[in-house]
Amino acid sequence: MQKILEGVRILDLSRMLAGPYGSMLLGDLGAEVIKIEEPGSGDLTRTTSAQAALRGISAYFLSINRSKKSVTLNMKTEKGRAIFYELVKKADVVYDNFRPDALERLGCTYEILSKHNPGIICCSVSAFGHDGPYRDLPAYDVILQAIGGTMGLTGPEGGDPVLMGVPMGDLGGGIFGALAISAALYNREKTGCGQKLDISLLDSQISLLVYMAQTYIANGQVPKPRGTMHPLIAPFRAFKTRDGHIAVVAFQDKFFESFCRIIEREDLLTDERFDNLINRALNKTELYAILDTIFPRKTTAEWLAPLREAQIPSGPVNDIKDALNDIQVRHRKMVVEIDHPEIGRYEALGNPIKSSAMHDGEFMPPPALGQHTDEVLGALAGLSADEIKSLRNEGVI
């Protein structure tokens, strides 16, 4: 079986999180992703968080760099750039997450690279994009969540802004980058033309505001943090149980009727504050005050069984350990095993894209620094063993 993107070659200049996450998704789908790294040091995440290591290798790096090859190349040297241009001639995509001025200094702008390969697709994932007043400012996930409004929506009702538990300021840009590259590859099949893709992490955060932003535009009211509540419907929240928390959604009338029977409060069905979807939303504070006294009477499992039997959307509030061991997560191969030449077999997260055209759960392990340098430069740049040895001695690779 061929993977979806088999035959696509990507030169990946990205590092840290946003870029590497997107290129990993493309690699999982079958693209040949060649990670270009600095000789001697490589991606900073190789040595990030020594306390979060798996048998001596950075867990951070392992989590977002499988399905790739590693080539070391000093792009700051003239010889390094010349070799890179040779690789560009044999590539489909050049992917980076540099600031715009860094691309210009390295000679890797779309305008330059398209002269070497008119069909090349260049995708840049940067904090603020390649134009605008913030163009040259640095940023990380927390900055993007702050400026993009998502931090202002996250946290307990009436509390201070809270950073999301997963770094969506970075991950959102990686996902949009992978989507844009896939669309550009499809477009090139039809037109034969490459193109420049400019993905801003801030743009991505704004896009993720969806109905929260549209609600503000509609009525002028600024949404505030609401904990686990939905701003427009109820009940839609997590509740404290005897031994944990459970999330329940029962705002539709058919679900609310079953819900009230399960919690043994059928009187709520005739209470004019809660007798229809609109009234429940308007009076959710009063409704939650009642429900908060009911759910602690039983365990999460004791509530979950009848709620699921009644087809009421519900689930336990899991920590990471429980989430990774959930029977549905395991069934869908969202936790897989990968063989690594240094640390042996280890567990990693699977790919959420399932396809009848691919074997599921088979991934190439994250590469050692420069593991594929000789292979790639020999096959794609046409360099001899002696030439590669000389470049290594000069520090170019």
Measured distance CA(177)–CA(133) in Å, rounded: 22
Stretch 306-335: mean pLDDT: 97
Active site residue 170: yes
| Domain spans, the chain | 9-208+335-394, 236-317
**Coil, helix or strand at residue 149:** coil
Q: Is the pLDDT of residue 50 over 60?
A: no
Contact 28, 2 (CB under 8 A): no
- Give the contacts of 70 (CB within 8 A, at least 6 positions apart): 34, 35, 37, 42, 367, 368, 369, 370, 371, 372, 373
- When pLDDT is cut at 50, 70 and 90, the band that residue 359 belongs to is confident
Using alpha carbons, select from 166, 195, 180 the residue that is nearest to residue 63: 166
Determine which helix (DSSP H) or strand (DSSP E) holds 175, and give its type and residue range.
helix 168-191
Stretch 80-84: mean pLDDT: 97
pLDDT tens-digit profile of 87-98?
Answer: 999 999 999 999
pLDDT for position 51: 62
CATH code: domain 9-208+335-394 is 3.40.50.10540
Contact 63, 363 (CB under 8 A): no
pLDDT tens-digit profile of 143-201?
Answer: 999 999 999 999 998 999 999 999 999 999 999 999 999 999 999 999 999 999 999 99
Average confidence score pLDDT of the chain: 95
- When pLDDT is cut at 50, 70 and 90, the band that residue 53 belongs to is confident
Q: Is the pLDDT of residue 217 over 60?
A: yes
Place of tokens 């087809």: 311
Which of 28, 92, 170, 203 is flagged as catalytic?
A: 170
pLDDT for position 1: 62
Stretch 28-46: mean pLDDT: 96
pLDDT tens-digit profile of 251-278?
Answer: 999 999 999 999 999 999 999 999 999 9
DSSP class per residue in 47-112: SS-TTSEETTEEHHHHHH--SEEEEE--TTSHHHHHHHHHHHHT-SEEEE---HHHHHHHT--HHH
Instruction: Mark residue 50 as left, alpha or beta (left: phi above 0; alpha: psi -120 to 50; beta: remaining).
Output: alpha
Using alpha carbons only, what angle is made at residue 253 by residues 248 and 259, rounded to the nearest 5 degrees? 40
- When pLDDT is cut at 50, 70 and 90, the band that residue 287 belongs to is very high
Measured distance CA(271)–CA(22) in Å, rounded: 50
pLDDT for position 106: 94
Q: Which CATH superfamily is domain 236-317 in?
A: formyl-coa transferase, domain 3 (3.30.1540.10)
